Structure 1
Amino acid sequence: MSKRGGRRPTIIDVAARAGVSKSTAARALAGAPNINAETRERVLKAARLAGYERNHLAVGMRSGRSGLLGLVIPDIANPFWADVARGAQDRAAQNDVSLLVFSSDWDAAKEAAHLSALRRARVDGAIINPVSDSFDDLDRFGLPFVLIGSSAERFPDTSSVGSDIAQAVRLGLDHLAEKGHVAPNLILGPKSRLARARFLRSVHQHCVERDIDPAILVMEDGEYTVEGGRLAMQRLLKRPHVGHLAVFAANDMMAIGAMMAAREAGLSCPEDVSILGFDGIPAGAFTTPGLTTIAKPGREMGIRAVEGLFDEIEGRPEHGRIHLPCRLVERASLADLSVGTPQRKAGAGRI
């Protein structure tokens, strides 16, 4: 019953090959519980041999479900968000559900267009990272949804999944302090982003707990990109400083940009400059030196978001924020000043 003349195999072809009725074949492919294992396996094998694919549109019309979920993330080119998408896709596939992925490019208008497209596509629900902290269109979305990312903090009554930023920042600052960097310079994101405020709030709390005046911290803002980190680092290097320079960047792409700027200035990492990243993207393992970073659980975030969305779709909402812990990935971009290791004068070497 293979395809001939361009004709797609039908459920009738599968039933004939398996030696069962059309209704039995359909129930076996749908996973109905009242089909014995031997019959189900015979039907599945017949479907594979025939090259049969279920018509999800027709199934959706009967069940009221499309078998599609939407995912709107801010930047698919950022490996962290790609990891989130991969986790969501893998988890959705376990339930025979497909995922439509959209990248808003940090543009609120694009995000609105993507959400409209998802509604027209009749997806069963969506996972959204609002690019604007003033995102207020949730009530009008009209479909089950789960939020991810920092903006979700503004919606405490909505199911959401994100990294435990406070725990992550403490982890990074504690590790820097153990290495002798008690007051690192900070490269932060744009002032318009809630993620920046949450990061900075955790830094201030850590300083107060350690009896450090937060006002002494030197900060530069930039976009969450390699170029944004590079430009912010250039501005930091123009500021007056004495001795070794330590930098904690708000994401790994910015940290990699900071390493580039240090190299361009004739500085060596970690001899002259220590740099700590945030996200845990794979590229950090291939910089020279390898980037020490606080890794956020991107893939786990995608998995948990899909599981939460399934609950929303089934009317079993688990309202509240799920905070996933982060972990330290130690490589070679931080100098250890705690042991009194002599450091070269700034500008004496290259990365």
Structure 2
Amino acid sequence: MNKDTGRRATIVDVAKKAGLSKSTVARVLAGSSNISQDAAERVQAAVLATGYERNHLAVGMRSGRSGLLGLVIPDITNPFWAEVARGAQDQAARQGVSLLVFSSDWDADKEAAHLRALCQARVDGAIINPVADNLADLDRFGMPFVLIGSSAERFPDTSSVGSDIVQGVRLGLDVLLAQGHVQPALILGPKSRLARARFLRAVHEHCIERDVDPSILMTEDSDYTVEGGRSAMKRLLQAHQNGQHLAVFCANDLMALGGILAIRDAGLSCPQDVSILGFDGIPSGAFSWPGLTTIEKDGRRIGSTAVTALYAEIAGRAEHERIYVPCRLLERGSLADLSEMATARLVAKG
């Protein structure tokens, strides 16, 4: 509202307040480069003084852009995907656009319904963690898009952004080895997920490089949830009856947090009896007891990078490449350091 007249402020009000022409004000608001610093500052002050807000619908009709982007993620309740959404939202805000967020719940039909809704909303483009196996299912919606997540690697000729899973898994295994855990057990996701295959392949490659048979590692599959991890850890504890220290590398943090609960349920302690390493870096891992040591995937950076890549796609200058965001170690308290004990055992055997 115009603070002086009590009605909705117009660009004419801004021009009058700034002492500039309407066309100059319009060019300033459109972000034109050939504008003096003085004119830009006068327009900014006039906008604040009048309470002017741009009519994005009218701007979109003139420019062919809606000022809206879409984001379809698989599970909004998973804190990692919430971090991705936050990163995308922050970057979209810096671009002066809004973000519509949908959760597919790993359901291809829901994904398709969300994409139809985004088309109807006339979004300028979409960021998608693809559930559908056929890229044509996405192409038919006729909008620029960028893929995110491990499942995007099924489409190497499409622009995508995701964590460097291989680097992250190798980092986790190197940390475990350095702390004396030479044969960690694994809690993996469902066999239907590409992320599980990528994680397990990285483990196998790491083992083969060390001349270790990967089949000797205990593994359990579960859903990527707290309860899934709790059940998988319970099964591992039942199978591990030799009294030696057990280390477990989980494919995501929710499963790792469930694993800590199962350790407690069994009357054991973490990390005194069982060490556990997560993968994601969700904030709640800092508040568990003990704090969860994990390999952090930078969700916010993935989201913001995806928005930048999407704008390149919209502008028709995308290179259609896979952008890998590196992972890093977050050390807390869920890993016991057995390196001195491992060294002592080697000396004793020698």
Q: Does structure 2 retain, via aligned residues, the 8 Å contact 1:132–1:151?
A: no
Match status 1:284 vs 2:285: yes
Q: Does structure 2 retain, via aligned residues, the 8 Å contact 1:133–1:194?
A: no
Residue deviations 1:197-217, cap 9 Å, x none? 000111111111111111111
Which residue matches 1:85? 85
2 CA distance for matches of 1:133 and 1:251? 23
Which residue matches 2:345? none
Q: Does structure 2 retain, via aligned residues, the 8 Å contact 1:168–1:327?
A: yes
Q: Are the structure 2 counterparts of residues 269 and 305 from structure 1 closer, same or farther at C-alpha, using a change threshold of 3 Å?
A: same
What code does the residue aligned with 1:337 have?
A: L
Which residue matches 2:40? 40
Which residue matches 2:275? 274
Match status 1:13 vs 2:16: no
Match status 1:174 vs 2:174: yes
Q: How many angstroms does 1:28 deviate by?
A: 1.6
1 CA distance for matches of 2:165 and 2:209? 17
Q: Are the structure 2 counterparts of residues 204 and 136 from structure 1 closer, same or farther at C-alpha, using a change threshold of 3 Å?
A: farther
2 CA distance for matches of 1:220 and 1:82? 26
Q: How many angstroms does 1:134 deviate by?
A: 5.3
Which residue matches 2:338? 337
Match status 1:245 vs 2:246: yes
Q: How many angstroms does 1:141 deviate by?
A: 2.4
Indicate the SS of the match to 2:170.
helix
2 CA distance for matches of 1:147 and 1:15? 42
| Percent identity over paired residues | 72
Which residue matches 2:27? 27
Which residue matches 1:71? 71
Q: Does structure 1 retain, via aligned residues, the 8 Å contact 2:180–2:341?
A: no
Q: How many angstroms does 1:22 deviate by?
A: 2.3
Indicate the SS of the match to 2:48.
helix
Q: Does structure 2 retain, via aligned residues, the 8 Å contact 1:147–1:161?
A: yes
TM-score when normalising by structure 2 = 0.93
Q: Does structure 2 retain, via aligned residues, the 8 Å contact 1:269–1:289?
A: yes
Indicate the SS of the match to 2:339.
coil
Match status 1:54 vs 2:66: no
Q: How many angstroms does 1:129 deviate by?
A: 0.5
Tell me, which stretches of 5 or more residues in structure 2 are unaligned? 343-350
Q: Are the structure 2 counterparts of residues 222 and 3 from structure 1 closer, same or farther at C-alpha, using a change threshold of 3 Å?
A: farther
Which residue matches 1:262? 263
1 CA distance for matches of 2:192 and 2:315? 35
Q: Does structure 1 retain, via aligned residues, the 8 Å contact 2:135–2:155?
A: no
My pick for the range that moved more, 191-200 or 231-240, is: 231-240
Q: Does structure 1 retain, via aligned residues, the 8 Å contact 2:126–2:146?
A: yes
Tell me, which stretches of 5 or more residues in structure 1 are unaligned? 342-351
1 CA distance for matches of 2:34 and 2:206? 58
Which residue matches 1:348? none
2 CA distance for matches of 1:19 and 1:304? 40
1 CA distance for matches of 2:298 and 2:134? 25
Indicate the SS of the match to 1:340.
helix
Q: Does structure 2 retain, via aligned residues, the 8 Å contact 1:133–1:193?
A: no
Q: How many angstroms does 1:4 deviate by?
A: 5.5
Q: Are the structure 2 counterparts of residues 111 and 126 from structure 1 closer, same or farther at C-alpha, using a change threshold of 3 Å?
A: same
Higher share in helix: 2
Which residue matches 1:100? 100
Q: What is the root-mean-square deviation in Å for CA atoms of aligned residues?
A: 1.6
Which residue matches 2:348? none
Match status 1:215 vs 2:215: yes
2 CA distance for matches of 1:174 and 1:234? 25
Indicate the SS of the match to 1:99.
strand
Aligned residues: 340
Q: Does structure 1 retain, via aligned residues, the 8 Å contact 2:291–2:332?
A: yes
Q: Does structure 2 retain, via aligned residues, the 8 Å contact 1:132–1:193?
A: no
1 CA distance for matches of 2:97 and 2:184? 45
Q: Are the structure 2 counterparts of residues 212 and 322 from structure 1 closer, same or farther at C-alpha, using a change threshold of 3 Å?
A: same
Q: Does structure 1 retain, via aligned residues, the 8 Å contact 2:229–2:255?
A: yes
Which residue matches 2:225? 225
Q: How many angstroms does 1:338 deviate by?
A: 1.7
Match status 1:131 vs 2:131: yes
Indicate the SS of the match to 2:341.
coil
Residue deviations 1:297-334, cap 9 Å, x none? 21111121111111111110121211121111111111
2 CA distance for matches of 1:311 and 1:3? 41
Q: Are the structure 2 counterparts of residues 177 and 241 from structure 1 closer, same or farther at C-alpha, using a change threshold of 3 Å?
A: farther
Which residue matches 2:347? none
What code does the residue aligned with 1:183 have?
A: Q
2 CA distance for matches of 1:262 and 1:131? 33
Q: Does structure 2 retain, via aligned residues, the 8 Å contact 1:160–1:320?
A: yes
Indicate the SS of the match to 1:147.
strand
What code does the residue aligned with 1:303 have?
A: S
1 CA distance for matches of 2:144 and 2:224? 29
